[in-house]
Structure 1
Amino acid sequence: MGLSNHLTCRNGLFDVKNRSYLSARSPQQVLVSGFALLIAVGALLLWLPISVTEGRSLSFHDALFTATSAATVTGLVVADTGRHFSLFGQLVLLVLIQAGGIGFMTMTTWFALAFGKKISFKERLILKESFNFQSTEGIVRLIRKVFFYSLVIEAAGTLLFAVHWMADMPAGKALYHGLFHAVSIFNNAGFDLFGGLSSYVGDYFFNTVAMVLIFLGSAGFIVLSDLIDYPASRKLSLHSKVVLSFSGLLLVLGGVVIFIFEYTNELSMGALNDGHKLLASFFQSTSLRSSGTSTVNIESLRQATQFFMVIMMFIGAAPGSTGGGIKVTTFAIMAAAVLAMIRGKEDVDLFRSRISKDLVYKAITVTFIALFLVGSATMALCLVENQPFLSVLFETTSAFGTTGFSAGVTQHLGGFGKTVIILLMIAGRLGPFTIAMALRSKTRKELYRYPEGKIILG
């Protein structure tokens, strides 16, 4: 290789060796391996004695579980974050949450751009896959916006939380707590330093700021970009319309259902006044989009409420966001397809736009793979763990949806159970379709088609 070629290769995001690695693998495979590397490094750092407080220890399996939970912005924990981890360990978690939330490729790309590096077409394909973007056009511009939006939103959340907490703690501690919780909540990670947020169930200021951060994180950066550009463009993309409308619908539905189901439950919200009950209901509903930040004891909720939350967690957040699940757009397409079939319509449409059959097939594929993963994991844990079925289903769905709500099962899991949850969290963060594409061999176009067959349904 000549000197000019060598320099050209080093002008990109990766050096020549990494370029050969990228060219030999699909974007999905690069994403999966990159996340695996991020988790492995995080686990090794959390395993170090410096990461835990004096007199405490953390097994490597628990360190791996915690690193996975942070990198996939889930929030399921096997150790109290505020008490078990030292300042160094908490900062490691913070970096993992940030990298996992906006994406390690986003962070790498931004730093490459900051140093004047060029982004190759292959790298643009990987970025496109990480955000579920439709094309590579404008992807680098979106990355700049993602990084800028994240910093601005997290900085605003940090200041608001810090000012609010300065009345209860020293200014420096309040600022650090504000930073940690702003990053955790915006990235829908669900980690907290208080050992639970039940004391803030009636705190209107905290709940309002947290719900705004959760919504901004779960809506996705594509939607955020559309909303910020709306005053000038006066239009929203079909994607943003679907995300905003269905997310709003699910949020209101969740708040109303939780309020009704838990209104008289003395173990959860029954002792609260009506205003606090309403606030708590809508806060948990907002968190169901993939945050897992809870102001009530999830274990004390009625079984009907927990099962309803399972459905909502399975749906998850929006594509290109910090959340998991099958994604709200997948749910919207499935709902539109069912409605079209009931009405006898040939086309599936949303907001006067026809949805291609490829997208409908992809939505069906994602949903089926997700159901298979959650169902298989639930059966496996029921075989080896002595826990109620609904609690196990709740935990596996929470892991897949990267929600982080817990029915009290995670901390009692054995080695096998924790491994199952680890795999579910990774699958939920990357998406079942991405995992499937990473595992499959190279596609080849079929040179023939079978004759059409008839099967009776219903």
Structure 2
Amino acid sequence: MRKLRFSRSINLSPPAILVLAYTVFIFLGALVLWLPISHTGDIGFSEAIFTSTSAVTVTGLVLADTGSAFTGFGQAVIAIMIQLGGLGLMTTAVLVLGALGIQVGMPQRMILREEVNQTSLSNLMVLVRIILVIAMVCQTIGAILLAFVFVPQYGWNGLWQAVFHSISAFNNAGFALHPDSLSQWVGNPLINIVIPLLFIFGGIGFIVLGDIYQKRNWTRLTLHTKLMLIGTLILILWGSIAFGVLEWSNPETLGTLSTGEKLWASWFQGVTPRTAGFNTINTGGMHDSSTLLTMTLMVVGGGSTSTAGGIKVTTLAVLLLATVAFFRRRTVLHAFGRSIGLEEVMKVMALTTISMLLVLTSIFIVSISHDGNFMDLAFEVTSAFGTVGLSRGATAELDGFGRAIIIFVMFLGRVGPLAIGFFLATRSVPRVKYPSGQIYLG
């Protein structure tokens, strides 16, 4: 009898492999969270898949209180998914392979390059080690400091709370073990300093932190690092001051707090939309103006090669620089003694356009199937896209279709930019050139 051999080779691009890896990991996480050992009895598979997606994409939107709906085992599973999703699945895999002494080949390096949003294969392993060291040091220090708050209040269980919230904060996940997030510590200095610093360090970008550690001199820092630091500082100041001014007398948010608590809350709420997702006030009680401010910050997000989402701070910086250059009749952008070419502007325009179309289309679809408050629905979708996790309460009221849309947006908000980056980094030389035409704008 003759043996028939079938040889099939499936060629997938690095972004496709990443998408597949994240999808498989989300479903495996959902199956584990669905087990009776993981929850207290009120979690079905739809809630499990929603929670798993939210954890892996480090978003933080939930359908049930994490602290009461999930057992200690379930909370540990969520923390692991947050850690792996925040650092990146391929980054973690490379670290494991390196620890086992297994050589990381070229295909794995290409996938890793897409995940950490790099255009070069050089120094990838160095970047991976930088990511691991920064993550472990920041989260360890954060857990130790948070223990001074949680242990006196919750006993030895406070140690786990300190570890969980440190992991969640650094990875910009926004998962909390309390139904009101961190609202009961609205005036606690340690919470208001440690938690924001964790998600600022996690969201500013590992490349930026590594560059600062290596150069330690402003003039020697790269253009990317300078734009990230200046942009982050401006957005933090703008968000904190604007939120405080808009909400100072609102009885549902800052109005009933003392002056010190108002200042702490304004600082916290001005920083947390940068994809962190924690809150110390009632987000659903914000004015529409503050809601729009928060949505804008959620869309911008954090930095490239970070645990944060959004279109990224450098994208916003290039858009603004391009606008200034247009009105000054310049064809090349300038910043900190460096130039930014037209190709970079086109990449930024493509990323921003796709992101805005995704957000607006998702809001449109969700608003068709739900008659809830439009601002609340738009807020949830924007939070899902930016992988933020802040909520005005509409997520829990969505039906199966609405939850599916939010899951889809969370997934694209985390994995989408990785796939888009592949196409933006791929050049194609046109074989045919057409004569230039003219269109009228404005």
TM-score category, normalised to shorter length: over 0.9
- What does the per-residue CA deviation read over 1:206-247, in whole Å, with 9 as the maximum and x for residues that have no partner? 110111101001101111111222338972111111111101
Structure 2 stretches lacking a partner, 5+ long: 1-6
1:266 is aligned to: 251
Q: Counterparts of 1:426-441 in structure 2 under 5 Å?
A: 426-432=411-417, 434-435=419-420
Q: Counterparts of 1:19-418 in structure 2 under 5 Å?
A: 24-53=11-40, 56-170=41-155, 172-195=156-179, 196-231=181-216, 235-418=220-403
- Whether the aligned pair in 2 keeps the contact of 1:288 and 1:309 (CA below 8 Å) is yes
For residues 432 and 104 of structure 1, the distance between their equivalents in structure 2, rounded to whole angstroms, comes to 15
- What does the per-residue CA deviation read over 1:50-78, in whole Å, with 9 as the maximum and x for residues that have no partner? 1102xx23121111110000000000000
For residues 235 and 420 of structure 2, the distance between their equivalents in structure 1, rounded to whole angstroms, comes to 27
- Cα offset, 1:434, TM superposition: 1.6
For residues 311 and 93 of structure 1, the distance between their equivalents in structure 2, rounded to whole angstroms, comes to 28
Q: Which letter maps to 1:25?
A: L
Aligned-residue identity in percent: 37
CA RMSD of aligned residues (A): 1.9
- What does the per-residue CA deviation read over 1:97-149, in whole Å, with 9 as the maximum and x for residues that have no partner? 00000001111100111111111122212111111123111111110111121
SS of the equivalent of 2:339 reads strand
Are residue 456 (structure 1) and residue 440 (structure 2) matched?
yes
Q: Which letter maps to 1:185?
A: A
- Whether the aligned pair in 1 keeps the contact of 2:114 and 2:422 (CA below 8 Å) is no
For residues 315 and 166 of structure 1, the distance between their equivalents in structure 2, rounded to whole angstroms, comes to 35
Q: Which letter maps to 1:58?
A: I
- Whether the aligned pair in 1 keeps the contact of 2:310 and 2:385 (CA below 8 Å) is yes
- Cα offset, 1:169, TM superposition: 2.1
- What does the per-residue CA deviation read over 1:300-321, in whole Å, with 9 as the maximum and x for residues that have no partner? 0101100111111111111111
Q: Return closer, same or farther for 1:244/1:192 CA change in 2, 3 Å cut-off.
A: same
Deviates most, 384-393 or 257-266: 384-393
SS of the equivalent of 2:125 reads helix
2:4 is aligned to: none
1:9 is aligned to: none
Q: Which letter maps to 1:257?
A: A
- Whether the aligned pair in 2 keeps the contact of 1:427 and 1:435 (CA below 8 Å) is no
SS of the equivalent of 1:431 reads helix
- What does the per-residue CA deviation read over 1:169-214, in whole Å, with 9 as the maximum and x for residues that have no partner? 22x3121111000000110000011222111110011110111101
What is the aligned residue count?
434
Q: Which letter maps to 2:441?
A: L
Q: Return closer, same or farther for 1:233/1:145 CA change in 2, 3 Å cut-off.
A: farther
Structure 1 stretches lacking a partner, 5+ long: 1-16
1:419 is aligned to: 404
Q: Which letter maps to 1:307?
A: L
